[in-house]
Structure 1
Amino acid sequence: MKHSYVKYLMMAAFAGGCLFTSCRTVRETTAQYEVTKVEGGMITIDSVWDTNPETKVAEIVKPYKEKVDAMMYEVIGTSAMKMEKGAPESLLSNLVAGVLQQAAVQVLGRPADMGLVNLGGLRNILPEGDITVGDVFEILPFENSLCVLTMKGADLRHLFEAIASLHGEGVSGIRIEITKDGKLLNAFVGEKPLKDDRLYTVATIDYLADGNGRMDAFLQAEKRVCPENATLRGLFLDYVRRQTAGGKAITSKLDGRITVK
């Protein structure tokens, strides 16, 4: 459908609505109406809508689009492999969780004991080969920010139980064993058994730190620090650029962080 035709329909509907309103009687305006049926459907937003672009709009948008394209198509690194998300663990989720764990250095002066990212927050794959800024925006489209929490081991165990119930999330620095039906069997932090009376640090995103995604165990944290201007996307972009500056490709591995028994 051409945009001009759409605008015509909108104007016609608006005019018709005004005309209908002006012709109503007092009885009609005070009548009681009831919704009897609601129908809806999905409209696919794809390249079909670009078949007949509005020329004037395209001219206005062009300089802005060129600036955005120049930024998004910038190559900032190389991925040694294709990385996807998945449970119980995956190349992409392991990588992002590791970036979070290391990012805690700016708060703690050292990496956190654990990094955690939810699989639902990863919205695309990391392709093998060139990594562009646009690739990172597609993987991490949300404005999620770093939060570093200090928790008792007993509360961290509840967090692990939540991860088990979800059959896995993106984790780093820990190792847990779970059952096929989502129960926690064993938990280790830094290769040592989890101790309920010890304090541990977790680097995650604010969305999860607020207790979302079944992570309500975070609400029992002893301490929470969320530094300004530390979005997960920005941290990941910085990580890729640092690796590239050091002549390294981006890699990941599956190493049994979450195993199903």
Structure 2
Amino acid sequence: MKNKLILLFITILFLASCKNEHSKTKIIGKRISISDSLQTNTEIEAYIKPFRESVNKDLDSTLAYAVDTFSKTDGKLNTAIGNFMADAVLEMSNPVFKSRTKKDIDMVILNHGGIRSIISKGNISSRTAYEIMPFDNNVVVAPMKGKQIKNMLSYLADRKRAHPISNLKLTLNKDYTINEALINKSTIDFNKTYYVATNDYLYNGGDRMYFLKSKDSVINLDYKIRNLLIDYFKKIDTLRPKIDDRFKQIIDN
């Protein structure tokens, strides 16, 4: 009888310990809204204030002047702001590319959706570049053969959108078929390899620009487009881009 009582006691202790080991903890979450009602930590605010003021001073220092307000909705197949961006990429990237390869960039293609802000009339600062291009996209140069160039031209004609281009002239017929295509003011030689500057997002298939990628090695210039724009603004005095005939449609033909 005594042994049975001892065994029963041990069994009860064992069950109790198992229950404690597998007990569940109830976790209750609470949502804390971030609003003006939250008090500012004065010590932290005093610490970061000089850094914030220094950053804002650098971002807001005037680099150039825009003669008008420019938006990516201003034109159908090309826009002043898109033309400026593509031309800036060509002008600022080509010396870097040439110093590395002894070759020139033949043309530039970017994407319409990559323009994230307008440029307002008045002073242009580094903050303007951050607003237009908030992403850390680098300039890359893709070697493109004839078939890729044909696919690029078909892409532009099919999309009917003002994707920024530079050093490429594309004229469409009324039915959006291709009437004429020139690179560097010359008829395209589809047996030649062209060096096309773009950004790493597009090269990797962004906006379905799959035609950019090939078996040939891409050249990454390690030059962020945002930094390139800042350098371009520092180089010029006045920004006055225009809508032109680099990508147009012939209505009466």
Q: TM-score range by the shorter chain?
A: 0.7 to 0.9
Q: Given that residues 148 and 225 in structure 1 are in contact (C-alpha distance below 8 angstroms), is that contact kept between their aligned partners in structure 2?
A: yes
Name structure 2 gaps, 5 residues minimum.
1-23, 28-33
Q: In structure 2, which of residues 40, 59, 69 is the aligned counterpart of residue 55 of structure 1?
A: 40
Question: Displacement, 1:23?
Answer: 5.7
Question: Displacement, 1:129?
Answer: 1.5
TM-score (norm 1): 0.73
Larger Rg: 2
Counterpart position of 2:85 = 96
What CA deviation, in whole Å up to 9, does each residue of 1:86-109 have, x standing for no partner?
A: 441101110110111221221125
Question: Displacement, 1:112?
Answer: 1.6
1:187 aligns with 2:181: yes
1:227 aligns with 2:230: no
Alignment of 1:1-261 (within 5 A): 22=25, 49=35, 51-52=36-37, 54-56=39-41, 58-59=45-46, 61-86=48-73, 87-102=76-91, 103-108=93-98, 109=102, 111-168=104-161, 169-178=163-172, 183-220=177-214, 222-228=216-222, 230-243=223-236, 248-261=237-250
C-alpha distance in structure 2 between counterparts of 1:182 and 1:166, whole Å: 10
C-alpha distance in structure 2 between counterparts of 1:198 and 1:67, whole Å: 50
Question: Displacement, 1:250?
Answer: 1.7
C-alpha distance in structure 2 between counterparts of 1:98 and 1:167, whole Å: 20
Name structure 1 gaps, 5 residues minimum.
1-20, 25-44
Q: Tell me the amino acid that sits aligned with residue 79 of structure 1.
A: A
Alignment: residue pair count? 214
C-alpha distance in structure 2 between counterparts of 1:62 and 1:53, whole Å: 18
Question: Displacement, 1:178?
Answer: 3.2
| RMSD of Structure 2 on Structure 1 (CA) | 2.7
C-alpha distance in structure 2 between counterparts of 1:120 and 1:111, whole Å: 27
C-alpha distance in structure 2 between counterparts of 1:143 and 1:181, whole Å: 38
Q: Given that residues 72 and 81 in structure 2 are in contact (C-alpha distance below 8 angstroms), is that contact kept between their aligned partners in structure 1?
A: yes
Q: Given that residues 152 and 222 in structure 1 are in contact (C-alpha distance below 8 angstroms), is that contact kept between their aligned partners in structure 2?
A: no
Question: Displacement, 1:216?
Answer: 0.6
TM-score (norm 2): 0.75
Residue identity over aligned pairs, in percent, reads 23
Question: Displacement, 1:160?
Answer: 1.7
Larger displacement relative to structure 2 (113-122 or 63-72):
63-72
What CA deviation, in whole Å up to 9, does each residue of 1:171-193 have, x standing for no partner?
A: 01011123677654432112222
